[in-house]
Every structure is written in C-alpha cells, then in structure tokens.
Chain A
Amino acid sequence: MESISEIHIKKSKFQILLILALSLVTLILAITSMGVGSSENLGFFSTFKIVLGIDQSNDIQSSIIWRIRLPRVIIAIVGGAALATAGALMQGSLGNPLVSPLTLGVASGAALGAALGIIIGFSISEPIGIIIDFLWNLILNIIIYPVNMISMAIFSVALDIPPIPFTGAETVIITNAFIFSLFVVFLIIKLGNYRSVSAESYILVGIAITFICGAIVSTMTYFASDSQLSQLTHWSFGSLARTSLIQSISISIIIILLMPNAMKWAWDLNSLSLGGDDFAISTGVDPIVTRKKILILSAFMTSIIISFTGLIGFLGLAAPHMSRLIVGNDYRKLIPCSAVFGSLLMLFADTLGRTLFAPIVIPVGIMLSIIGGPFFMYLLLQKRRKY
C-alpha cells in the first residue's frame, strides 16, 4: 500500500501536470489567436509564414501582425494572469470568496480618472508631462533595444516600433486612469497602517470608494456630450485593442517581476484563508501585515492592467474560483493555476469576440461576462450537486 506521503506527492504532481496542460492549451490558443482576425489581407497560414520568415510581408500585413495582433495577444495573456492572480490573492487575504479585484475600489478610481480625461479634458500628466515623457522614452529605449536585438538575431528584421509620446491624446486617459487608481492604492496603504483594520473594513472602505467615485462620474456624465459619453462607455467595456506593442511589453515586464512576489505569499495565504487571523498567528503569520502587503500588491497589479484595458471585473472573480475547482485551495498551486487560467479565459474571450461577428469586434469585457457568467454558474451548480 502507498504511504500517505506518497499519495500526497502523487496528488501534488498530478495538479502540477494539470497546470502545465492548461499552459500548453493557452500557448496553442495564443498561436492560433495570432492567425485569426477580421482582416482579409491576412489568412491563418500566411500569418505564420510571415512570422517564421518564410514569406515576405507587405506593410499592411506586418502592421496587422506587429501593431494589432501581437500586442493584443500579449495583453490578453498578461492581463488575464494579473487580474486572476490579484483576485485569488484578494479572496484569500480577505477570507471572502465574493471578493474580486474591483472590490477595493481600484477600478472605480481608474474610471474616475478616465472620465476626467474624456469629459473635462483634464490630464493629470500634463504638468509633469515632460518628466513622464522623458522617463517613458528612456524605458522605451531600454526595452526596444534588446527586443530588436533578439528580433534581428532570430528573424533578421528589426521591429518597426515608433516611440510613442506618453502625453499624447490617446494616452491621457490611460495615464489618468493609472494615477487615479494608484491614488486608491495609496488610500489602501494608509488604511492598512491602522493596526485595528480588519478584513471587513477593507471591503467596506472599498465599497465606499466605489460609491464615491461612481457618484462623481455620474455627475460628470450629466454634463457630457454624446460623443464623450460613448467614449466613456467604450472605455468601461474593457477592451484589449487600446494597448500598443511597447505598452504591452512594458506591462508584461512589470507583471512578470511581480509574479514571484505573489508566490512568496502562498503559505501565509494558506494559513490566513483556512483559519482566519488567530489561526494565522499560531502558525507564525502576522495577519495584519500580511494582508496589507498582499492587498497592495494585488491592487497595484489590478491598477496597471485596468488602466490600459478598462473595466474587466468578472475575470478576477471567476478565474480563481474555476482554478479552485481544478487544484483546490492550496495557494502554492492556486496562484499559478489562476494565472494560467486567467490568461486562457481572456485569450479565449478576446479571440471569440474578434472572430464571432467579424468584422464587428465585441469588447473582451462583454465577452467574458456573456460566456464566462453562465459557464461559471454551471460549474458551481455542478459542484453543489456532486456532494
């Protein structure tokens, strides 16, 4: 007979295998997704011939591949992973399965920033625009250089990536959204400094922030023109079309750097989410400090993604729960599984949204809710019935 330890190892290995399988599916979907789209100039196979350097591309084709599809696939993968991870971290540290990355009010801060940019034309980055521009171009060059080196080495073509001024009209909204959501993150840090702050207080303050920002945005929409309203509505749908290649690569680098940080909390999250504060202390985890740090990390991840994509809420709630059904609640597996599953879900929803009614593109936020919602309900009910 197998010993208990052996069974445990076996179970663990099986779960890791499941995560690897999910990653493989995600990878395949990502490659497929590169090949499909609404353009008549670019078929499924010609895309790969161009990417692999077999065929020469014309300008339109290369522009579609590098400027439109690649950034979209990257932001789908990275954004999905980040939002799902943030959701899992927040649920665990607050001990509440109803929590999503939007709960703390980070997204409503972003929405407020976007609305200010769209309706009033207020740009928070303008006063400090020169500095941001300078820093951005610096980062840009640091990133472009190695990317181009690699691209030269492998495909013997340099990527045609024009530097984008960060304070351009398009990016006002993004910067606004980002800085206002950072302001909410800052509020969370301040809140966390009170020793007595409990998990419930975080949630309640988050809800209060959401209401306050919502009220301000509503007041502004009252005075907005039709075109501004439509722009704001589009922003809040959640879409992956707005990010450029450079932006999506920069976001990826930040998220990749933050991910190991999330994994570092796995044990503490296990203890905290299983038994609450007292139990956590008895296993050597300080619940107050841990919760604060985890919430800051996840709020920051959310804020980065949401500023570029707009409001994508459902993914951060559903992907962690679906992952819980796959690997259980052990965060050592739940974090990577959520990340992969989030990517998969986002890619799937976006690819479907691009192709289903092509050339009409349905924003990914809407797709996620429409397909994800019923699927999520089905899974949860299915689980109920089994036991």
Chain B
Amino acid sequence: MNNYKNYAQNYSIIDNDELLSVENLHFSWGENKVLNGINFTIPKNELVAVLGINGAGKSTMLKCVNRILKPEKGFIKLLNKDINDLNLVELAKNISYVPQSVLTQFSMDVFDVVLLGRRPHINWRVSENDREIVSNTLKFLKLEDFAFRSFNKLSGGERQRVIIAKAVAQDSKLLLMDEPTSDLDLKNQIVVMKNIKKLIREGKDKSAIIAIHDINIAARFADRILLLHQNELIGEGTPEEVLNEENIATVYGVSCVVEKRTEYESMRIIIKDEIKQKNKRKEEEE
C-alpha cells in the first residue's frame, strides 16, 4: 500500500490521493516576510507534523490554509479546488481548525462548544444525529464528565481538549491543529495524539496537519514531517528522513543524538545542548 502511494506520488499519475496542495505560498505581516514560497501536498490518510521554532510561521501557514489569513501569492487547493472558490460553510465542512488557545468572555457548556463543530452542517435546528455525534466525540476524547461544565472554568489543557473535540465533531476531511498538545499533561499528550491517529486511520480519507514543538511526539505519531526554517520549507518527508542531527541543529540550534526506530520503539531524539558556535561567530562579526 505504501509503495503504491509513493509510486503514485512520484509519477503523479493518480491525483486522487491528494487532499491538499499548497503551491508557492507567500505571506508577510507588513514588512516581516513570514512565508516565502512554500510548496507541499498532503495526501489522504496522513498525519503530518509541522515543525519549526517560535515565529517560524507555523500558525500563519495553518491560518492561510483555513482562509483566516489571505496569502499574498500562491494557490491552496483542497481536493483540486481552489479554496477561494468555496464559501466559508463548505470550507468548514472540509477543514476544521484548532486554534492555539481559546479564552472567552461568554462561556458555554462544553457540550454546546462541541456542538459548534456541527454549525456548518446544520441549518438552525439541532438534529438527533448532531447530538449523537457530539456525545460520541465527547466519549471518544474522554470528556463525558465535563459535558455540562462551563468552558471557561476548565483548566487550559481541558479547554484544549474540548476545542479538539469541536474539530473532531466537525467531521471534516482535513484537521488543522495549532499546538494541540501544548497545554496537556504527559499522559494526555499521548492519549490525544493516539486518538487523532486513530481518527486518521479509521476515518474516510481524513488527514491532519499538526503544528507541534515536541519532536519526539512528532517522530512517534507523524507519517510525514514538514520542517519550516527561515521562511522556507527545508525538509519534507518521513520522520526518519527529516529528523536527522543536521536538520535539528540547523533549525533549533541544539545538538542531539537520534536513536533509530526499532521493532518495539519508535525513533527517539535525545537533545544534548544548545550549539554555541553560531553565537560566537556572530559576536566576532560584531
């Protein structure tokens, strides 16, 4: 199956496998060039992690894909259709988005927050089916006990899981998640990632793009990694291909040891120390 996929990709015979394609994406915040000609495609049924330092442009890129931000240049196509040709409701049926954080003045019950994921699918009345989907999603993410608690009175990590539940209930093809595990405890990080993985595996042609800081979580769960550095994509491929010592040194400025994947464990990256050399050179220049 995987071989076939690679074959199809390499020779681009079958476009059907492609969920999202981003071509020559440019974005600036005023003078500040953030994305400079980004190209990538997301196949169906893949969990893709976006890595990069703070300010690399991960959030900006996700927001462009969800049409929250308008790119300067470039095309973003979903199932071969330009996203600008879809109206927002159609877009929301196909793409759901988990922002980095949500804090509100006007809180609602967790159930009603997750129900907002059904907003693109309903006219005005909530159907029995929508309620079922919401309660199943809450169960899926182990949030049943929170169903009738006020969103604002949850901890940061609990809120994050509720917003993930909203995106899951939206039942879209493409999930965009902006650091969905940043506020989660160790166990919940793994549980949430496993659940997302499960969703991608079992869902019909679903994929996810997840901006994330923990490279080990990325290495363990992602099918593919996009590495953002200095406004450009400097690496794209499987975790083994992208997460090598050299790339990690370039992007994060730390030295590390990469342990290969074994039969029992996924690959592991052990961070050693920051690389001081660069700084020294800078000082010399000045």
**A residues in contact (CB < 8 Å) with B:** 3-5, 7-9, 11, 91-92, 95-97, 264, 266-267, 270-271, 273-279, 281-286, 324, 328-330, 387
Contact = CB atoms under 8 A, between A and B. Distances in A.
A278 B88 contact: no
Contact of A281 (B68, B107, B124, B139): B68
Given A7-B148, A11-B148, A285 B106 contact: no
B93 interface: yes
A128 to B, nearest CB: 40
B119 A4 contact: no
Contacts of A276: 102, 104
Given A270-B116, A282-B66, A329-B107, A4 B88 contact: no
B135 A387 contact: no
A281 B66 contact: yes
A290 to B, nearest CB: 10
Interface of B: 63, 66-68, 88-93, 95-97, 99, 102, 104-109, 111-113, 116-117, 119-120, 122, 124, 128, 131-132, 134-135, 138-139, 144, 147-148, 151, 153, 167, 170
B132 A5 contact: yes
A282 B131 contact: no
A278 B93 CA distance: 16
Nearest to A332: B124
B124 A282 contact: no
B67 A330 contact: no
5 contacts: A95-B106, A281-B66, A283-B92, A284-B90, A284-B93
A284 B89 contact: yes
A198 to B, nearest CB: 14
A328 B108 contact: yes
A102 to B, nearest CB: 19
Given A4-B144, A279-B97, 16 more contacts: A7-B148, A9-B131, A11-B109, A91-B106, A266-B124, A267-B124, A270-B108, A278-B97, A278-B99, A279-B99, A281-B97, A282-B96, A284-B91, A286-B88, A330-B108, A330-B109
A8 B136 CA distance: 13
B131 A8 contact: yes
A279 B92 contact: no
A357 B173 CA distance: 67
A271 B108 CA distance: 10
B147 A329 contact: no
Contacts of B131: 5, 8-9
Contacts of A270: 108, 112, 116, 119
Contact of A282 (B92, B104, B138): B92
A319 to B, nearest CB: 15
A275 B160 CA distance: 12
B153 A387 contact: yes
Contact of A97 (B106, B108, B132): B106
Given A267-B124, A283-B117, A330 B112 contact: yes
B106 A92 contact: yes
A329 B66 contact: no
B108 A274 contact: yes
A387 B153 CA distance: 9
Contacts of B117: 283
A5 B104 CA distance: 25
Nearest to B87: A284
B119 A267 contact: yes
Contacts of B105: 95-97, 273
Given A270-B108, A284-B93, A278 B63 contact: yes
The 6 closest A-B pairs by CB, nearest first: A284-B92, A282-B97, A4-B135, A284-B120, A284-B89, A5-B131
A82 to B, nearest CB: 21
A328 B148 CA distance: 12
Contacts of B113: 274
Given A8-B131, A282-B96, A329 B153 contact: no
A8 B144 CA distance: 12
A329 B106 contact: yes
Quick one: which of A266, A278, A324 has the most chain B CB within 10 A? A278
Contacts of B91: 284
Contacts of A3: 135
B149 to A, nearest CB: 11
Contact of A271 (B66, B95, B119, B144): B119
Contacts of A8: 111, 131, 134-135, 147-148
Quick one: which of B117, B119, B144 has the most chain A CB within 10 A? B119
A265 to B, nearest CB: 10
A4 to B, nearest CB: 4
A14 B102 CA distance: 28
Given A4-B144, A284-B91, A275 B104 contact: yes
A330 B107 CA distance: 9
